Amino acid sequence: MYSIAYLDCHSGVRGDMLIGAFLDAGLSLDTLNQYLAALPIKGLQLLREDVSLPGLHGTRLQLTFLDQEQPVGSIADIDRLLSAAPFSARIREIALAALRRLVDAQSAIWHTPLENAPHADIVTARDCVEIVGAAIGMEAPGITHLYTSPLPLATGSTSTAQGPLPNPSPVTLEILRHVNAPWLPCSSEAELVTPGVAAILAAQARFTTPSLTIERVGYGYSNTSQGNLRLYLGHIHPLPASSSSEADTDWVAVIESHIDNMSGELLGGLMERLFALGALDVSYTPMQMKKNRPATKVTVICPPDQGESLSLILLRETSTLGVRIQQVQRLKAQRSQQRITTPLGEMLVKVKRLGGRVISATPEYEECQRIANTLHIPLSDVYEVVQQAIQTDIIRLQPRKRVDKKPVATDGDKYTA
What's the confidence (pLDDT) of residue 68?
59
Q: What's the mean per-residue pLDDT of the chain?
A: 83
Over residues 237-255, the mean pLDDT reads 68
Pair 347, 317 in one domain: no
| 229 within a domain of the structure (yes/no) | yes
What's the confidence (pLDDT) of residue 230?
96
Output the pTM of the full model: 0.61
- Alpha-carbon span 347 to 340, nearest angstrom: 6
What's the confidence (pLDDT) of residue 330?
83
| 289 within a domain of the structure (yes/no) | yes
Pair 345, 383 in one domain: yes
Pair 283, 340 in one domain: no
User: Could you tell me which residues are beta bridge partners of residue 362?
Assistant: 350
Pair 127, 209 in one domain: yes
What's the confidence (pLDDT) of residue 395?
67
Pair 15, 77 in one domain: yes
Do residues 369 and 340 touch, judged by C-beta distance below 8 A? no
- Alpha-carbon span 168 to 148, nearest angstrom: 17
Pair 107, 22 in one domain: yes
Q: Give the closest residue to 69 by CA, choosing from 7, 5, 159, 135.
A: 159
| 130 within a domain of the structure (yes/no) | yes
What's the confidence (pLDDT) of residue 162?
66
Pair 57, 195 in one domain: yes
Domain that holds residue 269: 248-332
What's the confidence (pLDDT) of residue 115?
53
| 404 within a domain of the structure (yes/no) | no
What's the confidence (pLDDT) of residue 195?
92
What's the confidence (pLDDT) of residue 229?
95
User: Could you tell me which residues are beta bridge partners of residue 347?
Assistant: 340
- Which residues lie closer than 8 Å to 101 by C-beta, 6 or more apart? 175, 198, 199, 202, 203
3-state secondary structure of 374: helix
Pair 284, 352 in one domain: no
Is it the case that residue 72 has pLDDT exceeding 60?
A: yes
Is it the case that residue 264 has pLDDT exceeding 50?
A: yes
Q: Which amino acid is at 70?
A: Q
Over residues 272-296, the mean pLDDT reads 90
Pair 297, 369 in one domain: no
235: pLDDT confidence band, cut at 50, 70 and 90?
Answer: confident
Tally of domains within the chain: 3
| 164 within a domain of the structure (yes/no) | yes
In the chain, the percentage of residues whose pLDDT exceeds 90 is 37
Highest mean pLDDT among 83-92, 249-258, 277-286: 277-286
| 412 within a domain of the structure (yes/no) | no
- Alpha-carbon span 181 to 66, nearest angstrom: 34
| 406 within a domain of the structure (yes/no) | no
Higher pLDDT, 306 or 72: 306
